[in-house]
Chain A
Amino acid sequence: MNNDIVGMLLKAWTVLVIAFLFIPIGVVILYSFNGGRILFIWEEFSTFWYAAALDNHRILNALDVSLRSALLNVAISVALGTAAGIAIARHAGVWTKPFMFLVGLILVTPELVSAIGQVIWFNRVGLDQGIFRLAIAHSLFNTALVTVIVRARAEGISQTLEEAAGDLGAPPWRSFLQVTLPLMLPAVIAGALLSFTYSFDNVMISLFVQRPGASSLPVYILSSFKAGLRGDVAAVVVMTLCVTIVLVVLSALLLRGGARRVNAF
C-alpha cells in the first residue's frame, strides 16, 4: 500500500475520533437554539431559550449555588492539597505511607459511600449551610486529587534549587515563594481546574448533601429531566461551557505570562 494512502486513512480516522468525541457537544449547542417547546424536536432557530434561561430565577439560583460552592471547594482543596503534596515530597517520614494510603482510599471510595457518610456527618455536626455542605463534600475528593498532582510535581523539582536559593541569601519562606511555588504553579493550577470541573458537574454527592433551596445546577437539570427537558437547560449548559472555555484559556495565558518574566536589565 502507498504511504500516502495510509497517511490519508490515519487522518480520516483522527477526524472521525474527534467527531465522535465532540458531536454530542455540537448537538447540545445546536439544540440550545431550538425554538420548540420540547428540546429533542427541532422546530426553528431561535435564541428564545437563552432569554428564558436568563429569566428563570431557579436556573440562575442553581448556577449561583454551583459557582460559589465550586469556587469555595477549589480554595479548600488547593490550600490543603498543595500543603500536603509538598510535605510528602519534601519532609517524608513515618507518616507518609499511611497518609498516601488514606489519599488513595479517598480517590477510590465510591461516591455513594462518601456521600452518605458525609450527610450523616454534616447532620451530626449541624452544618446546614447549603453552599458550605456542597463545597466541603466536593473538596474531600479534590484535596486528595490536588495532593497527588502537587506531590508528583514537587518531587520533580530538585531540592538543590531550594538549597541554591538559601545559599544566595533567601530565607526558607522566600525561597518557597520565589522558587518552589512558581515552579509548582502549573500543578497547582491544573489541580484547581480539575477540582472546579469535578465540583461543577458533580451529581451524586450534591444530590445527597444539598439543602432545599440550594440545589446545584446538575441537580436542577436532573430534576427538570423528569418533567421533560426544555431548551433553557441546553442554553444554560452552553453558557457554562463558554465559561469553562474562558477559564481554561485564561489559565493557559496566565501560565505563559508567568513564564515570561521581567528581566533584570
Chain B
Amino acid sequence: MSTAISVQGITKRYGNFVALNGVDLDIEHGEFLSLLGPSGAGKTTILRMIAGFDRPDTGRISILDRDIVNLPPHKRPVNTVFQNYALFPHMSVADNVAYGLRQERTSADERRARVREALDMVEMTTMAHRRPDALSGGQQQRVALARALVKRPAILLLDEPLGALDRRLRAQMQIELKALQRETGIAFVLVTHDQDEALALSDRIVVMRGGQIEQIGTPSELYDLPRSAFVANFIGSQNFLQGDFEQSTGRFTTPEGIVISAACVEPGAAGEALAAVRPENTAITTSRPEGVSNAVHGRLIQGLHMGDSIEYVVRPASGGALFSRQPRKGTPEMTIGTDVWLSWSPEETSIFQPDAEIVANLLKSTNRG
C-alpha cells in the first residue's frame, strides 16, 4: 500500500482556540481510517482541510504526492459525505447523483450509466425520481454516498455520516459502509465520536484529543495496547486505580497498600500513576483466589444486566467503584451486598501516567462513595 494523503505539521487556530496543533498523518490507499475523539478534538477540522473548506495556518497536505493546500475544493480529487447529507433539495435523487459528473462534462450516455451504477450500489434505483425531502434519513444517507462515490474519488471523506440515524439503522448502515469500502477499494476517512463505530469499521483508528493525535493503530492495538490513560479510557471501558509506581522495582502500590503488578507500563510513568484493567478481564469470587497477584476486596453493590453479560459494581473499602463484567452463561449469579474479591492477572494490567480528567473523575466517585 502507498500513501494517498499525507498531512504534515498542520496547525490551525481560531482566535485563541487551538483547533489543531502539529498534526502528522498518512492515509494509505484503500484503507478505512477513522478519526475518533471527543467533540473539539479537531477531527472535523482535519477533514475540512483535506476537502479544502478550511486552510491550515501552517503545514502541508498532499494528495497523491501533490501539494494541495492552495487548491480550491472543486479541484481536489476527494469527495465528502456531509453530516446532514447536504442533498440539493431542488433536484431529484438522480440529478443529485449526476451533479458531480455534470461538472466534469461527462457524456450523457456515460453519465446515465454511472448514475445508475451508483444508485444500484446503494439500492436506491427505484427512488431515482424522488426528491430528497421525500426520503427517510437512511435513504438520504445512501443518496449522499452515491453522489460522492459516483465521482470515483481517490479518497472519500465522511463527516459523522451515521450520527443522525437511530441505533438499528446505524448498525445496518455500518455493515453497508464497510461492504461499499471493500467493493470500491477507495480509501474512506470517517470522522466519528462513537468508539464502537470506529472499532467495527476501521482498518486503523486515529484517536485525537485537544487538536493532537494521541495514538494511531488498528482497533485491536488500541484496545489491547493503549499508549495512554486517555486512549485506554476512551476506547472500551476501564477500571482505574490511583497509586504510586516505583520504576526501579516495577511495583504499583495503592494508598491502602494493595500491590498491583502489571505487564504493560507507559514509558515515563513514575511516582503518581494509574493502574488500569478492563471490566471483562476481571474475575469475581467470594473468597480470595489462590495464585492471582492482583486482587481487591470490596462489597458487591450492584449487578447490571447488559443482555449477554452482567456488570457487577464492587465498592472497595477505600470508596469509589470497580466494575467486573461476567458472561451470563456459565457464571453463578452473585448476591448483592456480600463481600467479594475482584481479581485479574498482571497480563491484563497497564500502568499509565496520571490523566487530569480521569483522576478528577476518580476523586469524584470516591467522595460520593
Contact = CB atoms under 8 A, between A and B. Distances in A.
B333 interface: no
A81 B274 CA distance: 63
Contacts of B80: 163-164, 167
A6 B298 CA distance: 72
A264 interface: yes
B82 to A, nearest CB: 6
Contacts of B115: 264-265
Interface string B72-101: 111000111010101111111011011110
B74 A171 contact: yes
Contact of A169 (B53, B82, B104): B104
B13 interface: no
B60 interface: no
Interface in B309-347: none
Contacts of B86: 158, 160-161, 163-164
Contacts of A263: 92, 94-95, 128-129
Contacts, number: 87
Contacts of A161: 86, 88-89
Nearest to A161: B86
Contact of B82 (A163, A172, A258, A265): A163
Nearest to B94: A264
A261 B92 contact: yes
B95 A261 contact: yes
A163 B73 contact: yes
Contacts of B100: 168-169
Interface string A169-206: 11110110011001100000000000000000000000
Nearest to B111: A264
A175 B148 CA distance: 16
Nearest to B78: A167
Contact of B103 (A168, A261, A265): A168
Interface residues of A, number: 25
B151 interface: yes
B147 interface: yes
Contact of B99 (A163, A165, A182, A265): A165
Contacts of B72: 166, 171-172
A160 B82 contact: yes
A259 interface: yes
Given A166-B72, A168-B103, A265 B129 contact: yes
Nearest to B116: A265
B74 A166 contact: yes
A258 B90 CA distance: 9
B208 interface: no
Contact of B97 (A165, A166, A258, A264): A264
A167 B90 contact: no
B53 A163 contact: yes
B112 interface: yes
B128 A168 contact: no
Interface in A111-161: 158, 160-161
B145 interface: no
Interface residues of B, number: 35
Contacts of A171: 72, 74
A264 B74 contact: no
Nearest to A183: B90
Nearest to B79: A167
Contact of A264 (B53, B78, B98): B98
B186 interface: no
Contacts of B97: 264
Contacts of B73: 163, 166-167
Given A160-B84, A169-B151, A170-B103, A265 B90 contact: no
A180 to B, nearest CB: 11
A161 B86 CA distance: 5
B103 A174 contact: yes
A158 B132 CA distance: 15
B73 to A, nearest CB: 4
A168 B90 contact: no
B74 A170 contact: yes
Contact of B79 (A158, A168, A261): A168
A182 B91 CA distance: 10
Contacts of B91: 261
Interface string B49-79: 0011100000000000000000011100011
A189 to B, nearest CB: 14
A179 B147 CA distance: 15
Contacts of B112: 264-265
29 contacts: A160-B86, A161-B89, A163-B73, A163-B80, A164-B86, A164-B88, A165-B88, A166-B73, A166-B74, A167-B52, A167-B74, A167-B79, A167-B80, A168-B79, A168-B100, A168-B148, A169-B74, A169-B104, A170-B103, A172-B74, A182-B90, A261-B92, A264-B92, A264-B94, A264-B95, A264-B97, A264-B98, A265-B94, A265-B112
Given A161-B86, A261-B90, A264-B115, 20 more contacts: A161-B88, A163-B51, A163-B73, A163-B80, A164-B87, A166-B52, A166-B74, A167-B73, A167-B148, A168-B74, A168-B103, A169-B103, A174-B103, A261-B91, A261-B95, A263-B92, A263-B95, A264-B111, A265-B112, A265-B129
What are the 10 A-B residue pairs with the smallest beta carbon separation, nearest first?
A169-B103, A168-B100, A264-B98, A264-B94, A164-B86, A166-B73, A160-B86, A167-B80, A166-B74, A169-B74
